[in-house]
Amino acid sequence: MAHHKSAKKRIRQDAKKRIHNRYYKKSMRSALKKLRDMEEKAEASKFLPKVISKIDRLAKNNQVHKNKAANLKSKLTRFVNSL
C-alpha cells in the first residue's frame, strides 16, 4: 500500500483515468459491432465516418495503437464497400 501522499493521489488519478478510458474504448467497440451488423450500404456508409472519428480520437490519445487504428479503419472501409 502507498505511504506517500503523492502516491495515494496517483492511485486515485489512475483509477479515474482507467474508468474514463474504459468508457471510450467500450463505446468504440460498440460502434464497431453496430457497423458490422448493418446490412444496408447507404446506412453503413453514413455511419462509417462517425466510427472512424472515434477510432482516430482514441489513437490520438494513445488509447489504441496507431497501427491498430489504421487496420480497423481499413477493414471497416473494405467492409462497407463490399456491401
Give the closest residue to 58 by CA, choosing from 69, 67, 44.
Answer: 69
Q: Which residues of 42-70 are buried (b: 16+ CB within 10 A; e: fewer)?
A: eebeebbeebbebbeebbeeeebeeeebe
Q: What is the pLDDT of residue 2?
A: 78
Q: What is the pLDDT of residue 1?
A: 72
- 50-73 confidence digits (pLDDT tens): 999 999 999 999 999 999 999 999
Handedness of CA 2, 3, 4, 5 (dihedral sign): positive
Query: What pTM did the predictor assign?
Result: 0.81
Q: What percent of the chain stands above pLDDT 90?
A: 95
- 2-37 confidence digits (pLDDT tens): 789 999 999 999 999 999 999 999 999 999 999 999
To the nearest whole number, what is the mean pLDDT of the chain?
Answer: 94
Decide which of 1.20.58.110, 2.30.30.30, 3.40.50.2300, 2.30.30.40 is the CATH code for 5-82: 1.20.58.110
Q: How many whole angstroms separate alpha carbon 25 and alpha carbon 53?
A: 13
